[in-house]
Structure 1
Amino acid sequence: MEVRCMMCGKKESIGKDHVEYNKLSKNPKAVYICTLCMARTYHEAKEGQKPNKPM
């Protein structure tokens, strides 16, 4: 199945063993976010929660 990342637009092909395959096969318009964008978003969220360092 060919899917496109909602954040970066990269096309990926996922197999039946992929975690989100069932969700995407039932609803082709479901949101898909690739692992790179998911990691980037997770990192930015963690960095945003850290207190600012004093200058």
Structure 2
Amino acid sequence: MKEQKYIIADNVRLYRKKEGLTQMELAERADLSLDSIKRIEGGKRSMSLDSF
């Protein structure tokens, strides 16, 4: 079974592309760095709902 962080990564990428956003545009809208978005989409950054 896929780890939860990879499921989240896949969904973030899927919906970003569905909306026609670049990683930079998503980063700006989410008030995150481009590196953070790349790490989230790559499954390399842990996230919690407390972050939001």
Q: TM-score band, normalised by the shorter chain?
A: 0.3 to 0.5
Which is higher, the Rg of structure 1 or of structure 2?
Answer: 1
- Normalization by structure 2: what TM-score? 0.34
Q: Does 1 or 2 have the higher relative contact order (CA < 8 Å, sep 6+)?
A: 2
Answer 1 or 2: which has greater strand percent: 1
- Normalization by structure 1: what TM-score? 0.32
Answer 1 or 2: which has greater helix percent: 2
